[in-house]
Every structure is written in structure tokens, then in C-alpha cells.
Amino acid sequence: MTADDLSNIIAESINSVDLGKLKEEKSGAVKDLLFSILKLCAKDYIGAAESGVQSYKDIVGYKESEFFRKYYGFLYELADTTPEQRHKFCEEVQEKAEDFSGNVIMGIVDRMDNIHKEKILARLTIAKINGWITIEEFFRLSSMLERIPYVDLKMLPKYKEPYYDESGDTELLFATGSLNQHTIDANGPSKYVLSTLGEKLLCFGFGIKVEMERELGTNMALNFATPEETRRIVNELT
């Protein structure tokens, strides 16, 4: 199966009027997931495949099988959206990325390193479809989702309040743009809170309600000298 085949399968299946049929299928075998996706396409990929090979493993290798497993999980969550909504989404993706939507979506799905991230990615897609986030925010949030290990995604809710975790997730999450520095403490670790994008990832990707009061600037938790101490220091220097 060529890269062009994959790209076309993505574009055709995500726009399919029969996407809701995925909800009717129960099998979790990769072979069945693959053929469920192929049946959504206008081109007869299944007929061409069955006429020339003995096994679905001859159609795709391990890498392609793993991709289809992740892509099925993504598509499954979109089954309740309409073809018109998904078509408009693909148009916006293609316009902003300046590349064929099938290529772009294929790349985003494939770069996710955990099957559970596909469900989060689908929720971000639904958020864009409903106008809750912009297409630019969709790309930024999907990139953020890609870079954060799944185990650290679970730590995001802790940062609704100023927080620091010595295990190392704070620095990683901050590097992805999901956190802002809240407090600079000269006597201990600084505290961090969700950035605006971090809030949206938590809200639209995980369905967790976020209510935060944002303050202007960075809070400084430093020890300043009192007026009496300042006068004493000045007297000692003169």
C-alpha cells in the first residue's frame, strides 16, 4: 500500500457518509478494523486487495497495521459528526497546512504514540468542528498532545492551582507550552499553572471543566527587607 493510497483512504473515510457504521462493529482485530475503514471508501480497495493477496498482512506491514489501529480509534470518536462538518474541517486543515488534508491528518494521527491520545485528538477535532477552538489552536493543541507522554497528560489537572512536581513532569509540560510560570521562589521550586492552551487541552481534550483566575505578570515569592532593615543597611554602609 503506497503513501498515496493511505492519504486517499484517510480523505475518503473521514468524509464518508457511512462513518456511523463503525459504532455497529464490535471486533477489535486489526484485520477487521482495517477492512471497516476500507469499506468507507468509494474506491474498491477491498476488492483489489482480496483479488491479489491471501492475507491482509500482504496488504499492509506492521507499521501500516499500527497506523490503522490508531486511525480507527480516531474515526470511531467522530462517528456522531456529520459528513458536512467533517468535510469543512478537512477543507480548513488543507487551507492552513497548504497540503492535502489526507496527508496532514495521516501525519497527525501517526505521530501520536499512544492509542488513548487518538480519543483526545478526536475530541479536539470535534471542538474545532463546533467552533470552540480555532483551526490554528487545533494544530497547536495536537502538536502539544503529540509531545507530552501519556503518563504526564494525567498530571495536567494538578496545575489548575499553582503547583510543582519534583518527579520531572513540570519541566516537560512547561517546555511544551501547556504551563506558565506562576511564582518565582528564591527559596524553593517555582510554581506553575496551566497556560491558556493547557486549559483548552484539559477542557476540550479531556472534558474537564477549568475555572481559573488569571493574574497579570508573574508573582514573586521573594524575601524583601523591611524599611527598618533597609535603614540599618544604609547606615552601616555610610
Q: Contact at 8 Å (CB) between 141 and 156?
A: no
Q: Which domain holds residue 217?
A: 151-221
What sign does the dihedral 128-182-155-211 (CA atoms) show? Answer: negative
Q: 69 is written with which cell numbers? A: 489501529
Compute mean pLDDT per 10 residues along the chain, 238 residues long, and list them: 80 89 72 80 61 49 80 93 96 96 95 95 97 97 97 94 93 96 78 95 91 50 43 46
Q: Contact at 8 Å (CB) between 218 and 192?
A: no
pLDDT value for 157: 94
Q: 182 is written with which cell numbers? A: 506562576
Q: Is residue 233 part of a domain?
A: no
| pLDDT tens readout for residues 51-98 | 444 444 555 566 777 888 899 999 999 999 999 999 999 999 999 999
Q: Is residue 192 part of a domain?
A: yes
- Please check whether residues 38 and 13 belong to one and the same domain: yes
- Please check whether residues 68 and 24 belong to one and the same domain: yes
Q: Contact at 8 Å (CB) between 133 and 199?
A: no
Q: Is residue 183 part of a domain?
A: yes
pLDDT value for 22: 85
Q: 35 is written with which cell numbers? A: 477492512
- Please check whether residues 134 and 155 belong to one and the same domain: no
What's the structural domain count of the chain?
Answer: 2
pTM of structure: 0.81
DSSP assignment of 48-79 equals HHHHH-SSGGGT--HHHHHHHHHHHHHHHHTT
